[in-house]
Chains A and B, each alone.
Chain A
Amino acid sequence: MFNVIILTPIKKTQYPIIAQCISPDVFQEKTLEQINNLPIWIGNKRRILSDLFKIEKTTENSPSIIINGDVSQVRRIGWGMTQGEIVVNGNAGMHLGKKMSGGKIVVNGNAEGWAGSEMKGGLLEIKGDAGDYLGSPYRGSTIGMRKGKIVVHGNVGSDAAVHMKSGLIKIHGNSGPFMGFRMTGGVIHIQKDAGTRLGACMTGGKIVVSGVLEDMLPTFAIEFIKGKVKIELGDKAIGPFFVFLGDLAENGRGKLFISKEKNPQLSQYERFL
C-alpha cells in the first residue's frame, strides 16, 4: 500500500543535507509519523526529515514522491531506488538517483553533479541542465553506468558518462569536455555541440554528435560516412555522419558519429577514406 507523498521544503540551511531516505523503497509501508522521523544529516548534525520538509500524504494510490520546491542542497535523493517515481518541481542536489536500478525520477529544473551516478536501471529525466559527472561513478571507481536511461533537456557539464558500460544518455543541449571518458559500451546522443576530448580512452560504445564538435582527438581514425544512426528503438539520428573509430591509444573499438554538415573543419579527414 503506498500513497503519494508530497514533500515541501520549509527552510534553507547553511550546510549541505544528506537525505538518502527520500526514496519510494524507504517510504513504502511506512506511516506518516515514521516518514517524519527518518534520519537525515544537516552538515554534521543528525536531524529528522520533518525538520526540513512539510510532509503530506495524499489518498491517491501510487508509489510516488513529489517534492515541491528547490532542493538543490539536498543530496542523494532516490539513492538506490528500485521502483516508483520521484518528481522534483525545482532544482535537485548532488548524487540524484545514485545507484538506482528501477523506477523513474523527473526533475523540473536543474540537477547538480553526479546525477544518475553508477545507475543500474530506470529512467532519469532532467528538464533543465545537469551538472558535472552525469552518470559517472564516484572518483576513482571504475563502475560506471550499467543500464537505464538518462534524458537531459538542457546542457551537461564536464566528465559525463565516464566508464559507461551500457544504457542510453540523451542530451538535448550541449555537453562539456571529457564526455564518455573510458566508456566501454552504451549510447550517448548529444543533439547540440560537444566539448573537447570527446570519448577519450573509450574502448567501446557509441557517441553521436548532431552539432559542432569543439575538437577531435588525434587518436581517432575515420572509418566511413553514414547516413543515419540508430539511437534506440524508434529513434534515429539523421546525418550524414563521419564515423570515427577509437580510442586507438587504448586499442579501442568505440565509435564517434559526428555530423558532417555542422563540422566542415573535419572534411580534411575525407581524404583518408
Chain B
Amino acid sequence: MDLLIKNGFVYDPINGINGERMDIAIRNNKIVESVIEKNSKIIDATGLTVFPGGVDIHTHIAGSEVNTGRLVRPEDHEKDFVRKTSVTRSGVGYSIPSTFTTGYRYSLMGYTTVMNPSMAALEAKHTHEELNDIPMLDKATYPLLGDWWLVLETIQKGDLEECARYVAWMLEITKGYAIKIVNPGGLESWGFGRNVHSIDDQIPNFGITPRDIMCGLAKVNKMLNLPHTIHLHTNNLGVPGNYETTLDTMKCLESIPSNGKPVVHITHLQFSSFAGEDWGSFRSGAAEIAGYINNHDHVSCDMGQIIFTDTTTMTADGPFEYTLYQLSGHKWVNSDVETETSGGIIPFHYKRKNPVNAIQWSIGLELALLIKNPWKVFMTTDHPNAGPFTAYPKILAWLASKKARMATFKRLHKKAQKKSILPSIDRELSLYDIAIVTRAGQAKALNLKEKGHLGVGADADVAIFDLNPEKVDIANKFRTFRRAFTNTAYTIKGGKILAKDGEILQQAEGKTIWLDMQTKKEIEISEEIKKKFREYWTVEYENYPVSEHYIKNSSPIKIKADV
C-alpha cells in the first residue's frame, strides 16, 4: 500500500529543504512525486519533524572482534537484557548488544543504514553471517586492506595497477564496500611485537612506510572509482601528541588529485587529536586539526565522541589496545590475523573525574563544532569504542545546545575544565545541521545515492521525530530534543513502518550492500599466489571467497574500474 506522510516539517539537506512543511509520498519502497491520497495509508505528521533515515558511517556491529567482545563480557550482558515480545526477539548487551537487539535499537533511533568497519578478510564469512542476522538495517562492511601482504608487496614493487587489481578482487570476494586502513604498517609490525610511530617509519621486512601505503591505496581508490574514499584510522592513535601525525597524514594526501572531493575519511578523529607530551601534560589538539580541515577539501572525518560510561574497546589496532591494557590492567584479548591485520579488545570505563577522559570528551565536541562545514564531520561514537550508539541523542543535545554541553562540562574533572576551550565555543547546530551530521553528510561521503535524502527516487527510509521545531527551541529545551531523538515517532524503512513511539511494530530484513567490481582486464590469481595461500593462510584459496549465497539479501553495486 502507498504511504503518505502529511504536513511534517521536512529536513532534507541534500535537496536543500530546511524545515518546510510538505508531504512525502511513498510507493513500493521508493519515494515518489505523489500518490493518490484516498488509496494510501496516511501518517499525520503535523507538528512533527521529518528526517531521512539515519546513516552511520562507522559502527562495529558485526564480525569476529565484536563477537569476541561479547564472549569476554558476560557482565555487560547481565546489566542489560531485553525480553522477547510477540514481534521482536530477546537479546542482551549494553555496549555490545546481540545482533537482533542492535537492529532494534538502531531502528528505534531512526537509523536505517549502518556501515560496519574493519572486517578482517579471513573473517568475512563470519561477518556476513552476523550482518545477515541484524534486522531493520541496510548494511555494508569495509575489509581491512592496509596491512594485507599482497598490498604491501605490490606497493613495495611500485606496481599500483596490480595492487588495484588485488584490491578489487578482495573487495569483491569479501563483499566489501570500501578500503579500510588501520594504523598502516603498525599492524604488520605488531606481528613482531613492534609498532610504527610516525608516517615515515619503516615497516619490518617490506622496507616501505605508512606514507607509501596511504598514498598508494588512495591512488588505488581513485583508479577503481570506489564510491567511498579510503577509510583511515591513523597511525599513533591514542598517543599524546599524535595530532602532529594526523596533520602529517592529511598533508601527505594533499597531492592526490581530488577535484574538490574528499580523498580520505579519517575516522574517530577524536582519538587522533591529542596534544601534549605525556598523559600528565595531555591537552586537546582539536583547534589545529580543525584549522587544517577548514582550509582543505580533501578530508572528511567523524567524531568518535566519548561517552562517560562502561564500554568495550575493540579495534584492529593491536598495539594501541596493548597500550590501553597497560593503562587499565583490564582483561585483554589480543590477536594477529595471519597476513592481514591484528586486533585487540579491552573493556574500558570512561570517567568524568578522570582528567584524560574528560579532555577526550571535550576534544570530540571541539572538533565537531570548530570544523565549520558540517558536510565534513559526522557524528559517531565509533561504537562501542568511545561509547555505545544508544548514546547518540546525548551527543546531538551537546552539539545543538551550549546549555547541555555546559551542564555536563561543570561535572568534569577541574583540571580538564581549565584546559578545555569548549566554554569559548558558542556554535550550536540547527536541526538542518543535525540532519547533515547524522544522515545526509554520511550518505554523501559514502556516495549512497538512494540514502540520506527524501528526493524522488530515494529509498523510502524516513525517521519522524516528535518535535515541533516552531514551538521548541532545541538549544534551550535540550531535554525535550534528546527525548524526541531517543525514540522516533515513526521509523519507516523501505516503505514499511518498523517502529512507532518507541515500540517495534514489525521486524524487517535489511539488505547487504557490496561492490561488484568490473575491471578492464579480468583479475588473474597466479599459481604463485595460490601457493602463498597454502603456505601462509589457514584457509585455502578455494575456500577463501564469500560467495553470494552467503548473503541473505544481496544488493551489489556495479563499479567500473579504470584498470
Enumerate chain B interface residues (CB-CB to A < 8 A). Answer: 72-76, 78, 83, 330-331
Contacts and interface: CB of A to CB of B under 8 A. Distances in A.
A120 to B, nearest CB: 15
B57 to A, nearest CB: 31
Interface string A121-144: 000000000000000011111100
A141 B74 CA distance: 8
A173 to B, nearest CB: 29
A138 B76 CA distance: 10
Contacts of B75: 137-141
Contacts of B73: 140
Contacts of A138: 74-75, 78
B349 to A, nearest CB: 10
16 contacts: A44-B83, A137-B75, A138-B74, A138-B75, A138-B78, A139-B74, A139-B75, A140-B72, A140-B73, A140-B74, A140-B75, A140-B331, A141-B74, A141-B75, A141-B78, A142-B330
Contacts of A140: 72-76, 331
Interface of B is mostly: helix
A44 B73 CA distance: 24
Top 7 A-B pairs, shortest CB-CB distance: A141-B75, A140-B74, A140-B75, A139-B74, A138-B78, A138-B75, A140-B73
A44 B78 CA distance: 16
Contacts of A142: 330-331
A139 B76 CA distance: 10
Nearest to A139: B74
Nearest to A250: B329
Most A C-beta atoms less than 10 A away, residue of B73, B75, B78, B83: B75
Given A138-B74, A140-B76, A142-B330, 15 more contacts: A44-B83, A137-B75, A138-B75, A138-B78, A139-B74, A139-B75, A140-B72, A140-B73, A140-B74, A140-B75, A140-B331, A141-B74, A141-B75, A141-B78, A142-B331
A140 B331 CA distance: 9
Contacts of A139: 74-75
Contacts of B330: 142
Contacts of A137: 75
A138 B330 CA distance: 16
Nearest to A118: B75
Contacts of A44: 83
B545 to A, nearest CB: 36
A30 to B, nearest CB: 24
A15 to B, nearest CB: 15
Nearest to A141: B75
Nearest to B74: A140
Contacts of A141: 74-75, 78
A242 to B, nearest CB: 29
A19 to B, nearest CB: 16
A141 B75 CA distance: 5
Nearest to A142: B330
B20 to A, nearest CB: 46
B80 to A, nearest CB: 12
A141 B347 CA distance: 10
A119 B72 CA distance: 23
A138 B80 CA distance: 13
Interface string A222-255: 0000000000000000000000000000000000
A142 B331 CA distance: 9
Interface string A27-67: 00000000000000000100000000000000000000000
Contacts of B331: 140, 142
A140 B72 CA distance: 7
A137 B75 CA distance: 9
Nearest to A143: B75
A42 to B, nearest CB: 14
